[in-house]
Amino acid sequence: MEATEGDTTLTWDVTVLGWEVRYTEEFVPADEGAYTIVVSKGRKVGAGEEAVRNSFRAVEAGKVVITVENATRGRKRVLFRHKAKSALAKKC
């Protein structure tokens, strides 16, 4: 998910169908000299759990990278949706 400008709020939902997976979220700024920000540390998400919903307010341009690791050979489905809302759109 990309934040093309600063002061953007990114919101997303992730649902896993199948067995459990390991799930992490981090913000990678567009500026090469900036540090990556861990939004959510790695955690296990099971098939029976509800959707994981999270949001992040990006103060600079960049992207949120969501990593889903499948430790087993079983096939899984990951359903994902997201929305980006710029604070500049509210001010106009």
Task: List pLDDT tens digits, range 36-89.
Answer: 999 988 888 877 788 889 999 999 999 999 998 888 877 778 888 999 888 766
Indicate if the pLDDT at residue 90 is higher than 70: no
Answer whether residue 24 is part of any domain: yes
Answer whether residue 6 is part of any domain: yes
Answer whether residue 48 is part of any domain: yes
Answer whether residue 92 is part of any domain: no
Answer whether residue 51 is part of any domain: yes
Mean predicted confidence (pLDDT) in 15-39? 89
Answer whether residue 57 is part of any domain: yes
The total of structural domains in the chain comes to 1
Host domain of residue 33 = 2-73
- Of 90 and 42, more confident: 42
Q: Are 5 and 60 in contact (CB under 8 A)?
A: no
Give the Cα-Cα-Cα angle 85, 89, 92 (nearest 5 degrees).
165
Q: For the full predicted model, state whether its pTM sits above 0.85.
A: no
